[in-house]
Structures are given as structure tokens and as C-alpha cells.
Structure 1
Amino acid sequence: MKAVKRSALSVSRTTGRFTSGARILPSFLVAGAQRCGTTSLYRALAQHPLLLKPVLHKGVHYFDAGYQRGLSWYRGHFPLRVGAALLARRHGTGPLAFESSPYYLFHPLAGERIAADLPGVKLIVLVRDPVERACSAHSHELARGFETESNFEYAVELETGRLAGAEESLRARPYSAHHSHRHHAYLARGRYAEQLDRLEPLFGRDRILVLDSHRFFAEPEQAYDRVLEFLGVPRLGCPEFERHNGRPRPKPLPDSVRRSLRDHFEVYDSRLVRWLGGDPSWRR
């Protein structure tokens, strides 16, 4: 079954590459953060008739891990212009293609590449309690076999050494990969303000929407409407809101560890106020 699926994906990619000139590029991206509800938001948005997801899968990962493949390869993942034109005639407004690759927010070169290849694109970023995000990411990477250290606290201690020189390496060799940068950045990925500060000069404040994922899950209709307003798309129908890619909660952190991590993130969380329009929900 896996071989059949791989073969079908290969055929679809080849077809997409050959017809790339007839396909549309994304108008917006769900850029991250990892383990913050990006899959749940993606699936809710994909139910909208004017928001067109990639042909093959949620995340194309072109601007982080696949940039050497070229823009024609990337374009080949999206719907044909003729289908988009039919939707425009039916609804009186043009559809928007999109994808969701949560490593885009953290990769040091992704923002520059997106700004160069997709002028005018908008970005959606979700953020959650960075302590919870770190625990969730550790469980996620363990389950996928990308992490070998089962003790979360020790994995956090290892992070500084694992990530030492990672950004410099990725910039020096733009088409390379760094395993720990992608899979072991438990604290670094939760310093959201650092990543948003890198994107703001490239896109401008008005083209980046930051959502508190705790509020998204608590009041999904309101968050969904904010996204549609940000994109300039009318509401058509009512999507089903479900949690996706959730994992069982790991054992509770010792209070001392949780306090230490909350103290670590405090200065970064405070810098989210201007992006969220108020304090992050986990700091209230």
C-alpha cells in the first residue's frame, strides 16, 4: 500500500511540474509555529470553497527544506488556473491558494525566500504557551523517531549544544539541512518574538496575522472569522473545527522546571503583546 501511495505521489508531482505554468501560487501561508494548531487551522480553512489547498499534502516545505528544487516544482503542487477561474465566476471573487509548513517560521532563510518569490503574500502564525509547546514537540519528535533522549528536561539541557552554529551553517550552505535545528529546538522555537521580528521587515506588520492558539481552540469561530477578514475573503458556509495531530500529554513537569521555563520565556512572551493586541492567554 505504501509503495502504491509513493508511486501515485511521484506521478502527481511529475504532472504538476510539467503543468506548473498553468498553476497558481499561494496568496497566503500558515507559517508556524510547530505544535501550535497549524494542522487544525489548515483543515478548517481547506473547507472554504475559495481557499485552495495543495494538491498533494498540507505542507510543501519548499522554502525551508526543498528550495533547491526550483519554483516550477513548487508551483506544481497547487491547483490549475482554469479551475480557479471557474471558482471566481461562480463566487464573484478569485480564490486563494495556500499551504501550511510550520518550519517556515523558524528556518533562518525561509522568510527571505518567501518574500522574494511570493511578493504580496500574507502569513498566518499561531502561538501557544511555549512551555506546553516544548513538551508537545519533544513527545512529537520522540514518536517520529527524530529524538533519542526520552527525558524532556535532559533534552532541553542538550539543546544549546545541539543547535550551536546551526543558523550559521544553514546560511553558509543554503540548500543544506540541520537535523537538530529542525527537530530539537524545543525552547528556541517557542521564542516567537525573535522569529516575528525577523519577518516584520520583510513583509510588514499588516501582512502578518498572529493568533493565540489557545483562543483559537476555545473560540474557533471568532479566530476563523479573523482569518477570513485578514485575507479579504467572504464567509461561505460553516466549517467543522476539530483538533488534529494531538498527542497524549506527557507526564507533568516538576513545578521547579515549569517555573524555570516560564521565567525563561517571560521576556519573549511580553513582546507578543503588540502582535496579539493584549497579553498571551497563558500569561493571564
Structure 2
Amino acid sequence: MRVSTAGPIGLPSPLHHASRRLARLALAPVHKVQARDRMTPDYLVVGTKRGGSTALASWMSRHPQVAPCRVGKGTHYFDVNFGRGRDWFRSRFEHPADPWRVTGEASPYYMFHPHAPQRIADELPDVRLVVVLREPAERAWSQYRREVDTGHESLSFAEAVAAEPDRLRGEVEHMLADPAYESYAHRHHTYRARGHYAQQLTRLHDLVGPERVLVVQSEAMFADPARELSRVWGFIGVDDVRLDGLYPAKESTSAEQAPEVMAELRRWFAPLNEQLYALPGVDFRWQTVDA
């Protein structure tokens, strides 16, 4: 039997509309069909860039009760991929299954991006945030080397640090005015600006509460991974396990190639670091010989 899909005066009938909806559903991306069945992130490693978030995310994904993000380290949803929508984001996580208790991701641009913290607070009201902070001058040098290696920087370290104010002029304002705008300079040339940790951490505290933010010192994490991971496990609500193959290590640096710039940066960061030390959850200080 053939059923007509024509309605009155040639308009599509309800049956036609229903068949069209079924066809669209069949052709829809898998993430739109299955997103509601996915786990909701319980934690986010939100920063900082070149602070150790990659290592921490990798270690966390090894915990038997932590479901890994399906696209590796992180989705960058709350910063550069927000336009893809919530279903796209949810589809990047696993379906609930034993023995998984929690899931999450790491995108170190989150704590620095002008829109990301508010988006996180709005969409994940119960999420816990992990912040990994590295001594800011060393972090700036590490980012610089990374940007050179990936083709995003052609200036010398001294030139890049000096050029930062001009490169960033008006960029944050543009991002705030146009949420879809992606600033190349803000993402790749922020050697000093990303080291304003107190400002970024205060914003996270204001949005989600300091009790839902764990601050991990990068240097302590690499010096004693088991101790720092024990803090992380308790914070995200999983059993305290000890991972095999994690040994104390010192973060590599070649900053001696630019000693004058590093000394100037440490002097410049010193008062900003004092602001950081006064914030809740910060129980460490960086000891620098040339600050």
C-alpha cells in the first residue's frame, strides 16, 4: 500500500513531516543522537598553558575510575569550540560504565580565555576545576619555545616579550564584544599576560567558589607526582591509588639562553605572585634568585 504524503492544497501532510524528521535523525551526526547518553564532565583541568596540564591529564586518565575524554587531552569547547554546541561537547565523553565514577578533560586556555570561565559556570554548575601553575617566567619561556617550534613565533624572546602589548592591543575588547572572534595573538603571544595568575584565579573563585578549585604547583607535581595526585584524587572523588611508572622529575628549561629577559620577567612578576600567594588554596611560594 502506498501512502500519499500530500496534504490539503498540495501542502505536505503530517506524515510527510514525520518522515522528514526521521530522515534528518538518521542522517544527523552521531553526537546529536547520543549526547544525552554520555557522562557529564565532573572536573576540568583549566590551565595553565605550559604548566603541566598535559602530564596531569594523562595521569588522571590512567585512574581506573576516571573515564577518559574520547578526543584525548581535551575538547577546547569552552574557548574556541563553543559554537559547536552542547551536544557536540557531550559526545566527546564516554557512556556511563563500571568502574568509571567521573570524567573530565584538560584545556589550558580555559582559565585565561575571556569567556570560558563564565561558560563553564553556566553549563557545568557542579564541576570541579584543577589549576596547575608554573613559575610564571619559566612558563613564559616554555610557551615562547613552543610557539617557535609550532611556527607561531618568529621574533626573539626579548622581542616577543617587548611586542606583547602592541600585539594584544584591543584583542580582549574585540573578544568580549564578539564571542565568536578568535584572537591569534591572545592565544599564541601572551607571555606576560598568562602569568597574571591571581587575576585569573580570582575570577574562577568568584564564579564557582574557591572550594571547587584545586591549585597544584607544577614544580611540586613533577617533584612528587604521587603526593600531588593523592590531592587530586580526593578532590575529584575517586579512590586514592598509586600509579606505576611515575617518578620525580624536574621540568626542562633552557631559559639560561635569555638570562636578562628572565631576570626582568621575574622582577615584573614578583608583585603579581604576592597577590597569588594571598589567595585561598595557594600554599606554596616560588623561590627565585634573581627576582
* Equivalent in the alignment of 1:159: 164
- Assess if the C-alpha contact under 8 Å between 1:31 and 1:124 holds in 2: yes
Counterpart of 2:35 in structure 1: which amino acid? Answer: S
- Whichever structure has more helix as a proportion of its residues is 1
191-200 vs 109-118, greater mean Cα deviation: 191-200
Q: In the alignment, does 2:33 pair up with 1:18?
A: yes
| TM-score calculated relative to the size of structure 2 | 0.84
- Whole-Å Cα distance in 2 between the matches of residues 270 and 103 of structure 1? 23
Which residue of structure 1 lines up, in the alignment, with residue 48 of structure 2? Answer: 33
**Rounded Cα–Cα distance in structure 1 between residues aligned with 2:54 and 2:205:** 24
Q: For residue 261 of structure 1, what is the amino acid of its counterpart?
A: L
Judged with a 3 Å threshold, the aligned counterparts in structure 2 of structure 1 residues 263 and 276 are, in CA distance, closer, same or farther, namely farther
CA–CA separation in structure 1 for the residues paired with 2:135 and 2:192: 11
* Aligned twin of 2:99: 87
DSSP-derived class of the 1:211 partner: strand
Matched AA of 2:123: D
Gaps of 5+ in 2: 1-27
Provide the C-alpha distance between the structure 1 equivalents of 2:77 and 2:88, rounded to a whole number of angstroms: 9
- Secondary structure (helix, strand or coil) at the match of 2:162 reads helix
Distance 1:44 1:239, change over 3 A: farther
Does 1:176 find its partner at 2:188? Answer: no
Q: Which residue of 1 aligns with 2:130?
A: 124
Residue of 63, 68, 75 corresponding to 1:48 = 63
Q: What amino acid sits opposite 1:52 in the alignment?
A: A
Higher relative contact order (CA 8 A, sep 6+): 1
In structure 2, the CA distance between the partners of 1:143 and 1:243, relative to structure 1 (3 Å rule), is farther
Q: Specify the alignment match of 1:10 in structure 2.
A: none
Quick one: which amino acid aligns to residue 168 of structure 2? L
The one-letter code sitting in structure 2 at the alignment partner of 1:203 is V
Q: Is the 8 A contact 1:32 1:102 kept in 2?
A: yes
1:268 paired residue among 272, 276, 285: 272
Q: Unpaired segments of 5 or more residues in structure 1?
A: 1-12, 89-94
Aligned 8 A contact 1:33 1:127 in 2: yes
Question: CA, structure 1 residues 192+277, in 2 after alignment: closer, same or farther (shift >3 Å)?
Answer: closer
The counterpart of 1:204, out of the listed 200, 206, 209, is 209
Task: Give the distance between the partners of 1:172 and 1:21, measured in 2 at CA.
Answer: 32
Give, in angstroms, the shift of residue 237 of structure 1: 4.7
**Aligned counterparts of 2:247 and 2:53: Cα–Cα separation in 1:** 12
Q: Identical aligned pairs, as a percentage?
A: 35
* In structure 1, distance between residues paired with 2:275 and 2:226: 26
Letter in 1 for 2:239: P
Q: Aligned pair count?
A: 260
Deviation for aligned residue 1:276: 4.8
Question: Are 1:30 and 1:123, in contact at CA under 8 Å, matched by a contact in 2?
Answer: yes
CA contact (8 A) 2:225 2:247 kept: no
233-242 vs 47-56, which moves further: 233-242
Distance apart, 1:231 and its partner CA: 1.5
Write the deviation string for residues 188-220 of structure 1: whole angstroms up to 9, x where unpaired.
001111111111110101000111100110111
Deviation at 1:182, TM superposition (A): 0.3
Instruction: Summarize deviations over 1:141-172 as a string: whole Å, max 9, x none.
Output: 111111122x0010000000111111111111
Question: Separation in 2 of the partners of 1:242 and 1:104?
Answer: 28
Residue type at the aligned position of 1:110: A
Inter-CA distance 144–17: structure 2 relative to 1 (3 Å threshold): farther
**CA-CA distance at 1:259 after TM superposition:** 2.5
> Which letter does structure 1 place at the counterpart of 2:245?
E
Query: How far does residue 229 in structure 1 lie from its aligned partner after superposition?
Result: 1.3
Q: RMSD of the alignment, in Å?
A: 2.1
Tell me the secondary structure at the aligned position of residue 43 of structure 2.
strand
Please tell me whether residue 111 in structure 1 is matched to residue 117 in structure 2.
yes
CA distance in 1, matches of 2:49, 2:73: 13
* Aligned residue number for residue 72 of structure 1: 87
2:57–2:106: 8 Å Cα contact kept in structure 1? yes
Residue aligning to 2:72: 57
